[in-house]
Structures are given as structure tokens and as C-alpha cells.
Amino acid sequence: NAGVMQNPRHLVRRRGQEARLRCSPMKGHSHVYWYRQLPEEGLKFMVYLQKENIIDESGMPKERFSAEFPKEGPSILRIQQVVRGDSAAYFCASSRGQGGSPLHFGNGTRLTVT
Amino acid sequence: AQSVTQLGSHVSVSEGALVLLRCNYSSSVPPYLFWYVQYPNQGLQLLLKYTSAATLVKGINGFEAEFKKSETSFHLTKPSAHMSDAAEYFCAVSLNTNAGKSTFGDGTTLTVKP
């Protein structure tokens, strides 16, 4: 499957635990974007990364959230000390990074914080 | 900076009727515009994109959209709705200066009645 792969599809965490969401971009894509979708809301941009670099993190909460895209392996979105308000669907997308390039989305990780 | 406004969070049509989903954008430079569709528990899929080649853009599943600069609009249409068109639709804008990062509208849920 050459599409964007996200895992896990569903993740349940208790308040205070850590959540790690993984994303492997589409083959040939070196640009990764993370979006969050809350019920009845659209997609909100969180962060844009290239290999080993964070390009734009203007949508990331200032605390508890971090993202990386190492030279080898998937991109990781990490949420420390989760709270109930972090419950949402988190989508990863990838592109070639050129102007006008559409985003290719994974099926998302649905995080539930109990 | 760029933004997107989708007018109407819910649209309901009868099977066989015209589908019209509205999108207006704001951009300081010529934008790239996209429509995506999201089925339940899935990621977003690209329906069509405008990249300045032609103002009337044809996409998959019989959808098309027309870029109107004077109205800053990019409405999505389909002449005859099918039951399988029921989904959530998102309009998005990106700029040549931000390498694929897209800003999304809040989405429009399309219901098709038999």
C-alpha cells in the first residue's frame, strides 16, 4: 500500500498518560502535515515537517504537544499528559511540497482520553 | 494569510437533484483551491483542484467547481446527486509560498434523500 499510513487507528489513554501517533507518508513524499479534527468541526492545522525539520508549527499547542519526522522512520505526533480535551481525530497528510500539490491523507488516529 | 468560508454546515438534496456546496476564500496572493470529500471514519480524498490553468475544474464522481475571482468563490456542483455522494465536503486553500500547507473550511455535510 503506497498511501499514507497512520497507526494506531484507535488509541485510548487515561488522563495524564502519553499518546504517540505515527504516520508514514506516501512513497516519494517528503512533506508531512498533521491536522486535528474535533466533532462537528473542520480540520485545524497543527504542524508541517520535512525530514528532520519542523517547517511550521504555528498550530501546535505551546505545551504537551511535539512532533518529529526523523531521517529514518515515520513521523511522530506526541502528546504528553493527555487531557479529555485532547480527544479528537488526528490526521496526517503528505505531499510533494510544491505549490498546488494536493494533500494525501491517512485514515486518521482517533484518540479517546478517559 | 488565507482563509476559507463554507456557507451551510448541512445541505440536504433529493436523489437526482442538483448539488451546490458553497465556498468563499480570502487570499492575499493568487491561491490554489481544493475540494476534498470525507466518508465516515476515513481520511479526506481529493475531489478536484484549481491551480490557475482553467477556471472550470472537473473532478471525480461527476463533480466540478468554478473559480470566480471577482466573487472570491469556488463553489462545488454536481448536476444529479446520488445516494453515494452523502459525505462531508471540505474546501481548502493553499498558497505558492507555503509549500502545500492548506487551510480548510469547517466542512459541509451533504445528505441525499431517496
Class of residue B109 by CB neighbours under 10 A (exposed 0-12, middle 13-18, buried 19+): middle
Q: Grid coordinates representing A88?
A: 479528537
Nearest to A45 among B32, B44, B103 (CB): B103
Contacts of A56 in chain B (CB under 8 A): 98, 101
Which of B43, B92, B95 comes nearest A108 by C-beta?
B43
CB of B108 within 8 A of CB of B47? no
Over 60: is that where the pLDDT of A1 sits? no
A45 and chain B in contact, CB less than 8 A: yes
Rg (CA), chain B: 13
DSSP states of A59-85 as a string?
A: TS-SSSEEEE--SSS-EEEEE-S--GG
- At B36-74, the pLDDT tens digits run 999 988 899 999 999 877 889 999 999 999 999 999 999
A100 to chain B, closest Cα gap in Å: 6
Average pLDDT of chain B is: 92
Helices (H), A9-96: none
- The answer to whether B25 touches B71, Cβ cutoff 8 Å, is no
